[in-house]
Amino acid sequence: MSRLEAKKPPLFISEPLTGDAVSQSLSLLSGILKSSYGPAGRLKQLHNGVGGCVCTTSQSSALLGHLSISQPVLRVLTASVQNHVSRFSDCGLFTAILCCGFIENFRSLNVAPFTVIKISKHLLSLCMDHLKSEACGCRVSVDFSSVGTLVCLVRSILTSKPACMLNKTEVDHLTSLVLKAFIFTVPCHVEDNAVLGKCVIIPMKGRRVVDSTILPGLLIETPEIQLGKPLVVKRTGSNIIKIALFSVSMSGDGFNAEEGTIAVHHGVSLEVSELNQLLNVGKQLVEDEVGVVICQKVMHPSLKQYLKENSVIAVDRAGLCLMEPLGRMTGSQPIASIHSLSPGCYGSLKDLCIESFAPKHFLHLIPEDTVICSLILCNRSETAWDELK
């Protein structure tokens, strides 16, 4: 493909903050952010001017993600704030307003750039020391044994974003669900290095907010499961369900040299040899009394059929996001090769059932100890759901 114009060399600017265009763009961005901040903050409707949906929001991640910013200085600023939000999930508007205020005030002082850097570093150290001190007014003492304190904390967060369009009944319902989710993720056995579990959010757009619910364990969408039929699953002698997680593709459509060597006999195709290898894996899983097999990628239909005939639940296309909570919940190690299976890689489940929400059907994995839970989060529209999430 030929270029419409010659490629231009990189542009280096020695004084990037002195131009009038930068000043006007910075002032405009600061005004947008300030008018969206706080209890009296107003909603913004964002549209790209060409087509597509209109985004109604007051949150920083949506604002900065939809704004078209061409100024290099502001692009660095917005990228830094977006990185802050991705790491801490909070204070995006405050951080952006603070940065804009710093730049505007430093520009008015007419101070050399290296002096500005020294002043900024000193101010940052003062702020960090203050935030870590007991005298900091931002530090709030929260009694986790008091439900009333936690309810007030969660309700203040839910009511801070008007684009969620929640009434009092919906706020109360979601507050209860969030507190239940938090309690589910607290480990029962306290250890020195104990960490909180995880709540996996499952979207249900176009439904009532009060239809939202929380369930212990994990939900995996499985359109292939037919309702009305009893769920038959293999169990061990101690009445637990063994589970195996595969992070490698089990489709049999290609050979990865990193997984080992396949010896193919004369006259036998590579595809047939790989399918035989997959079926041998299935036989070992059945012999090891595995009841549930979950594959991150694609599983060959013949292998799925073989496992089904032996009362083994097989789920593929689980995705990367579910592998970490699945491994943590069941105690299983994701298997990265079909050429070596170790019994120590298997995990366990307490029970298994089918849950149905609207048109979707899910396989509900119920663990022995609940540190992982699933939140079915509903809202009327896609914009309102994104704001709520």
* Residue 1's pLDDT band (cuts 50, 70, 90): very low
Q: Do domains 20-127 and 219-253+275-369 have the same CATH topology?
A: no
Confidence (pLDDT) at 212: 93
pTM of the model: 0.74
* Residue 244's pLDDT band (cuts 50, 70, 90): very high
67-91 average pLDDT score = 87
67-86 average pLDDT score = 88
Q: Where are the domains of the chain?
A: 20-127, 147-217+381-386, 219-253+275-369
The pLDDT tens digits for 308-320 are 899 899 999 988 8
DSSP annotation of 359 reads T
pLDDT at 341 over 60: yes
Question: Which positions ≥6 away from 338 have C-beta within 8 Å?
Answer: 246, 248, 250, 259, 277, 278, 281
pLDDT at 185 over 90: no
207-213 average pLDDT score = 91
Choice between 101 and 21, residue whose per-residue pLDDT is larger: 101
Confidence (pLDDT) at 82: 92
DSSP annotation of 44 reads E
Confidence (pLDDT) at 381: 81
pLDDT at 97 over 90: yes
Choice between 275 and 244, residue whose per-residue pLDDT is larger: 244
Residue 67 near residue 78, CB atoms below 8 Å? yes
DSSP annotation of 332 reads P
Question: Which positions ≥6 away from 343 have C-beta within 8 Å?
Answer: 288
pLDDT at 70 over 90: no
Confidence (pLDDT) at 215: 92
Q: What percentage of the chain carries pLDDT values higher than 70?
A: 87
Confidence (pLDDT) at 90: 81
150-177 average pLDDT score = 89
* Residue 263's pLDDT band (cuts 50, 70, 90): low
Listing from the earlier edge strand, what are the strands of the sheet with 347-349?
313-315, 290-295, 241-246, 347-349
Listing from the earlier edge strand, what are the strands of the sheet with 360-366?
218-221, 360-366, 351-357
The pLDDT tens digits for 26-43 are 899 999 999 988 777 888
Tell me the fold of 20-127: GROEL; domain 1 (1.10.560)
The tokens describing 223, both together, are 């359109």
Q: Which CATH superfamily is domain 219-253+275-369 in?
A: GroEL (3.50.7.10)
Confidence (pLDDT) at 14: 61
pLDDT mean across residues, the chain: 83
Choice between 213 and 206, residue whose per-residue pLDDT is larger: 213
pLDDT at 258 over 60: no
Confidence (pLDDT) at 54: 79
292-299 average pLDDT score = 91
